[in-house]
Amino acid sequence: MRPKGIFVTGTDTGVGKTIVAAAVACYLKGKGVYVGVLKPVTSGGVERAGILVSEDAELLKQASGCASPDDDIAPYVLRRPIAPSEAARHDGVTVRYERIKEAFDRLSTRHGFLIVEGAGGLLVPLAEDLMTADLARRLQLPLLIVARPDLGTVNHTLLTCECARSRGIGILGIVINGQPEQPGEAESYAPRIIERLSGVPVLDVLPRSSGTDQKRIVERLADCLDGGPLAAVIQSLLMNKL
């Protein structure tokens, strides 16, 4: 049986993939689901006690309560904050799909639901012959696309949908993240235009939280998910109805 889960991608880096993935994990943890998390490739790892770690993976792990080994949660942590294929070259590493798939398989035997966070957007190179899109297609999880709310997001989100479709990757839906309390004209129109032109549902428009405490932002967004369309779609995935 195909593992249950989602592959979280974004229209760009910095749009809130980690925060949204962690919010979904936190929401599911609150519902008693033992969620597994996977951040296959991180560039710009940070050193803690001499070990290079992925801050994204740390947040995902904390939000989900996932107790699987760190090597499975974050199989490739690269030093430089540049495109992963180049960061890997600097570290003398080659990112291999097989290693990621082994971690994915181990996680999916231990957990009821998997949340995978891709690096950057779909066309980010992980290795000479592997892009984030290839990873999403090969892992066969439906895509949750995180988009920013402001002007330019229609173009970036439609490009991402078109890229996914052309590569045979199923799209679960779109989440617009970071909507200001008082949206401007572009931010107010974007969700409807994106939905109409892409034919993909905008499952949630999540607010911009004040403060910089990642854990608090995640908890706040997890509360926002409760009872909403994204939560309903994820419940359907969990119950094998999608």
- 211 φ/ψ angles, rounded to the nearest 5 degrees: 85, 170
Provide the residue type at 221 as one letter.
L
CA dist., res. 41 & res. 214, Å (int): 20
- Cβ distance to ligand ADP smaller for residue 85 or 177: 177
Among 17, 39, 61, 148, binds ligand ADP (CB under 6 A): 17
Among 15, 33, 222, 225, binds ligand ADP (CB under 6 A): 15
What lies within 8 Å, CB to CB, of 52 at 6+ separation is 45, 46, 77, 78, 79
The b-or-e profile of 92-125 (16+ CB within 10 A means b, else e) is ebebebeebeebbebbbeebebbbbbbbbbbebb
Contact 84, 119 (CB under 8 A): yes
Query: Judged by CB under 6 A, which stretch of 10-18, 42-50, 107-115, 155-163 contacts ligand ADP?
Result: 10-18
Among 11, 18, 64, 157, binds ligand ADP (CB under 6 A): 18
Q: Which does 11 bind (CB under 5 to 8 A by kind): ligand ADP, Mg ion, none?
A: none
Q: Which stretch binds ligand ADP (CB under 6 A): 131-139, 186-194, 204-212, 232-240?
A: 204-212
CA gap 172, 242 in Å, rounded: 9
Query: Interior CA angle at 26 toward 175 and 140, to 5°?
Result: 55
| Alpha-helical segments (H) within the chain | 17-30, 55-64, 70-73, 84-91, 97-110, 132-139, 153-166, 185-198, 214-225, 229-238
Question: Which amino acid does the sequence have at 129?
Answer: D
Mark the segment that binds Mg ion (CB under 5 A) among 17-25, 140-148, 153-161, 232-240.
17-25
Binding mask 216-235 for ligand ADP (x = CB under 6 A): -x---x--------------
Query: Which x/- pattern over 36-75 shows residues binding Mg ion (rule: CB under 5 A)?
Result: --------------------x-------------------
Residues with catalytic roles: 39
Q: Among ligand ADP, Mg ion, none, what does residue 15 contact (CB within 5–8 Å per kind)?
A: ligand ADP
177 forms part of the interface with ligand ADP (CB under 6 A): yes
Binding site for ligand ADP (CB under 6 A): 10, 13-19, 177-178, 206, 208-209, 214, 217, 221
